[in-house]
């Protein structure tokens, strides 16, 4: 217990000293966690919700302002209809059941991705969560749902092309900054740290533009196992990195 407390204090100091503001997470391993325990994948996804709540509390304790999680990718539609339906229902039930607690804790909820593709009922639940928490001052939870980074970048390029076509800007005005402003994440700083659980070593079409200079941290622990101690481990490793920004 003493070591855990010491790690937390070290991690908290690192957040303060480095200015670590934003952690993006690929929440991988729900199904593998369930399979190892001979349980249906639904149990893994439900336990993943508990892991997210633990992570938000830990992030708040550490002083981390933004957490972005990869909840449902554009490629996840290729899973079985039963699992897709379950994940949609899980989002709805989680927002309904946990919203009051998150609101009381000051959590700000926002979404990135093609939310218009969701059912009207689910869109209403999503919009209600965003509207209710928009003025909170705590951790900002950004949920990537029906999100794909390539799709996001293509969408931003199309918007720029329309501006050029309409004479609003010319080609010389197209810069990294002008494109960044048209991404879903335009109001939030780029991630300082990207954490992937489950041991896989790939990005999976996640925040490709935004993580250009993010530090990567991969843990073999599955997402349902993620907790305050594992988050502190990631932050401490971040503190050991030498971020040179290409210099």
Active site residues: 28, 76
Q: Are strands 108-112 and 140-147 parallel, antiparallel or unpaired?
A: parallel
Q: CB–CB of 25/59 below 8 Å? A: no
Backbone φ and ψ of 216, nearest 5°: -100, 140
Give start and end residues of each alpha helix (H) in 63-119.
81-104
Cα 190 off chain centre by? 11
| Sheet strand arrangement including 193-196 | 108-112, 140-147, 66-73, 22-26, 193-196, 215-218
Nearest Cα residue to 232 out of 68, 47, 54, 71? 54
């Amino acid at each position: 217990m003493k070591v855990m407390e010491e790690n937390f204090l070290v991690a908290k100091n690192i957040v303060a000293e480095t200015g670590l503001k934003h952690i993006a997470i690929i929440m991988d391993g729900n199904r593998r966690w369930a399979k190892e325990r001979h349980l249906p994948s639904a149990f893994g996804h439900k336990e993943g919700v508990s892991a997210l709540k633990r992570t938000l509390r830990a992030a708040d304790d550490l002083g981390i302002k933004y957490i972005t999680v990869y909840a449902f990718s554009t490629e996840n539609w290729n899973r079985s209809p039963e699992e897709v339906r379950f994940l949609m229902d899980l989002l709805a039930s989680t927002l309904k059941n946990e919203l009051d607690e998150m609101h009381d804790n000051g959590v700000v909820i926002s979404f990135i991705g093609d939310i218009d593709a969701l059912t009207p009922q689910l869109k209403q639940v999503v919009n209600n969560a965003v509207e209710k928490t928009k003025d909170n001052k705590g951790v900002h939870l950004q949920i990537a749902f029906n999100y794909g980074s390539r799709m996001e970048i293509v969408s931003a390029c199309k918007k720029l092309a329309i501006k050029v076509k309409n004479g609003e800007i010319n080609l010389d005005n197209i810069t990294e900054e002008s494109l960044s402003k048209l991404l879903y994440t335009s109001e939030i700083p780029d991630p300082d740290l990207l954490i992937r659980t489950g041991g896989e070593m790939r990005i999976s079409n996640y925040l490709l533009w935004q993580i250009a200079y993010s530090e990567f941290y991969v843990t073999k622990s599955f997402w349902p196992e993620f907790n305050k101690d594992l988050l502190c481990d990631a932050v401490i490793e971040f503190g050991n990195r030498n971020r040179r920004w290409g210099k």
